Amino acid sequence: MGEKRIGVCNLCEAICGLELTIEGRDVVGVRGNPADPLSRGHICPKGVAIADVYADPDRLRRPVRRVGEGTDARWQEIGWDEAFDLVADNLARVINEHGDDALGVYLGNPNAHSLGSMTHGTAMFKSFRTKNRYSATSVDQLPHQLVAHLVFGHQLFLPIPDIDRTSWFLVVGGNPMASNGSLMTVPDFPQRVRDLRARGGRMVVLDPRRTETAKVADEHHFVRPGTDAWVLLAMLHVLTAEASPDDVPTVASYVDGLDTVVELVAEFTPERAEAVSGLPAAEIRRLARELAAADSGVVYSRIGVSAGPWGTVCQWAVTCLNVLTGNLDRPGGAMFTTPAIDAVGTGLIGRGHHDAWRSRVRGLPETAGELPVAALREEIETPGEGQVRALLTVAGNPVLSTPDGARLDRAMRGLDFMAAVDIYVNETTRHADVILPPTTALERDHYDLVFHLLAVRNTARFTPAVFEKEPDQRHDWQVFREITLRTAARLDRKAPLKKRLVQRARLTASPTFLIGQLLRRGSSGVTLAKLRRRPAGVDLGPLRGGQLPDRLPARSKRVDLAPALVVQDVARLASVPAPAGDELVLIGRRDQRDCNSWMHNSERLTRGRPRHQLLMNPGDLAQRAIQNGSRVRVTSRVGSVEVEVAASDDLMPGVVSLPHGYGHAGDGVLMSRSRDVPGVSVNDLTDPELLDVSGNAALNGVPVAVTPA
Ligand X SMILES: Nc1nc2c(c(=O)[nH]1)N[C@H]1C(S)=C(S)[C@@H](COP(=O)(O)OP(=O)(O)OC[C@H]3O[C@@H](n4cnc5c(=O)[nH]c(N)nc54)[C@H](O)[C@@H]3O)O[C@H]1N2
CA distance readout (Å), 79 to 7, 101, 665: 30, 29, 27
Q: At its nearest, how many Å lie between ligand SF4 and the CB of residue 460?
A: 17
Q: Which is nearer to ligand X, 435 or 566 (CB)?
A: 435
Q: Which is nearer to ligand SF4, 44 or 303 (CB)?
A: 44
Stretch that binds ligand X, among 278-286, 292-300, 551-559, 588-596 (CB under 6 A): 588-596
Q: At its nearest, how many Å lie between ligand SF4 and the CB of residue 649?
A: 28
Say how far apart CA 18 and CA 31 lie, in whole Å.
6
Say how far apart CA 412 and CA 305 lie, in whole Å.
30
Residue 415 has a CB neighbour count (10 Å cut-off) of 17
Say how far apart CA 360 and CA 346 lie, in whole Å.
33
Q: Which is nearer to Mo ion, 140 or 594 (CB)?
A: 140
State which of residues 13, 36, 52, 140 lies at the interface with Mo ion (CB under 5 A).
140
Q: At its nearest, how many Å lie between ligand X and the CB of residue 182?
A: 4
Q: 115 near 445, Cβ under 8 Å?
A: yes
Q: Which is nearer to ligand X, 394 or 536 (CB)?
A: 394
Q: At its nearest, how many Å lie between ligand X and the CB of residue 140?
A: 4
Q: At its nearest, how many Å lie between ligand SF4 and the CB of residue 464?
A: 18
DSSP designation for 81 = H
Q: Which is nearer to ligand X, 342 or 404 (CB)?
A: 404
Say how far apart CA 367 and CA 353 lie, in whole Å.
6
Query: Could you give the string, one character per residue 184-213, with x where binding to ligand SF4 holds by CB under 6 A and - elsewhere?
Result: ---x--------------------------
Q: 164 near 192, Cβ under 8 Å?
A: yes
Site residues for ligand X, window 419-438 (CB under 6 A)?
A: 421-424, 426, 438
Say how far apart CA 277 and CA 244 lie, in whole Å.
26
The residues pairing with 447 across neighbouring beta strands, listed in sequence order, are: 462
Site residues for ligand SF4, window 13-32 (CB under 6 A)?
A: 14-16
Tell me the residue ranges of DSSP E strands in 561-621.
Answer: 584-589, 614-616
Q: Which residue is nearest to Mo ion (CB)?
A: 140
Closest CA to 585 of 613, 609, 617, 563: 617
* DSSP per-residue letters across 291-303: HHHSSS-EEEE-H
Interacting partner of 585 out of ligand SF4, ligand X, Mo ion, none (Cβ under 5 to 8 A depending on kind): none
Q: Which is nearer to ligand SF4, 11 or 115 (CB)?
A: 11
Judged by CB under 6 A, how many residues of this single chain contact ligand X?
66
Interacting partner of 144 out of ligand X, Mo ion, ligand SF4, none (Cβ under 5 to 8 A depending on kind): none
Stretch that binds ligand SF4, among 44-52, 265-273, 285-293, 521-529 (CB under 6 A): 44-52
State which of residues 140, 366, 409, 692 lies at the interface with ligand X (CB under 6 A).
140
Say how far apart CA 435 and CA 65 lie, in whole Å.
7
Q: 696 near 364, Cβ under 8 Å?
A: no
Q: At its nearest, how many Å lie between ligand SF4 and the CB of residue 27?
A: 14
Stretch that binds ligand X, among 28-36, 67-75, 178-186, 333-341 (CB under 6 A): 178-186
State which of residues 108, 257, 311, 639 lies at the interface with ligand X (CB under 6 A).
108
302 sits near ligand X (criterion: CB under 6 A):
yes
Q: At its nearest, how many Å lie between Mo ion and the CB of residue 397?
A: 12
Q: At its nearest, how many Å lie between Mo ion and the CB of residue 140?
A: 4
Closest CA to 180 of 31, 47, 78, 297: 47
Q: 635 near 686, Cβ under 8 Å?
A: no
Q: At its nearest, how many Å lie between ligand SF4 and the CB of residue 44?
A: 3
Question: CA angle, corner 409, sides to 46 and 106, nearest 5?
Answer: 65
Q: Which is nearer to ligand SF4, 132 or 401 (CB)?
A: 401
Q: 428 near 399, Cβ under 8 Å?
A: yes
Interacting partner of 398 out of ligand X, ligand SF4, Mo ion, none (Cβ under 5 to 8 A depending on kind): ligand X
Q: Which is nearer to ligand X, 153 or 396 (CB)?
A: 396
Say how far apart CA 308 and CA 153 lie, in whole Å.
24
Say how far apart CA 396 and CA 610 lie, in whole Å.
24
Task: Give residue 518's identity as a one-letter amino acid code.
Answer: L
Say how far apart CA 167 and CA 621 lie, in whole Å.
40
Stretch that binds ligand X, among 31-39, 191-199, 284-292, 397-405 (CB under 6 A): 397-405
Site residues for ligand SF4, window 154-183 (CB under 6 A)?
A: 180
Q: Which is nearer to ligand X, 75 or 330 (CB)?
A: 75
303 sits near ligand X (criterion: CB under 6 A):
yes
Phi-psi label, residue 625: left if phi above 0, alpha if psi -120 to 50, beta otherwise = left
Q: Which is nearer to ligand SF4, 16 or 91 (CB)?
A: 16
Q: 513 near 475, Cβ under 8 Å?
A: no
Q: 173 near 206, Cβ under 8 Å?
A: yes
Counting Cβ atoms within 10 Å, is residue 14 exposed (0-12), middle (13-18) or buried (19+)?
buried
Tell me how many helices (H) and strands (E) the chain has.
25, 30
Say how far apart CA 114 and CA 440 lie, in whole Å.
9
| Residues engaged in binding Mo ion (CB under 5 A) | 140
| Residues engaged in binding ligand X (CB under 6 A) | 12-13, 108-110, 114, 136, 139-140, 172-176, 178-180, 182, 206-209, 211, 223, 225-226, 228, 302-305, 307-308, 394-398, 401, 421-424, 426, 438, 440, 476, 587-592, 594-598, 660-661, 682-683, 686, 699-701
| Residues engaged in binding ligand SF4 (CB under 6 A) | 9, 11-12, 14-16, 43-44, 46-47, 180, 187
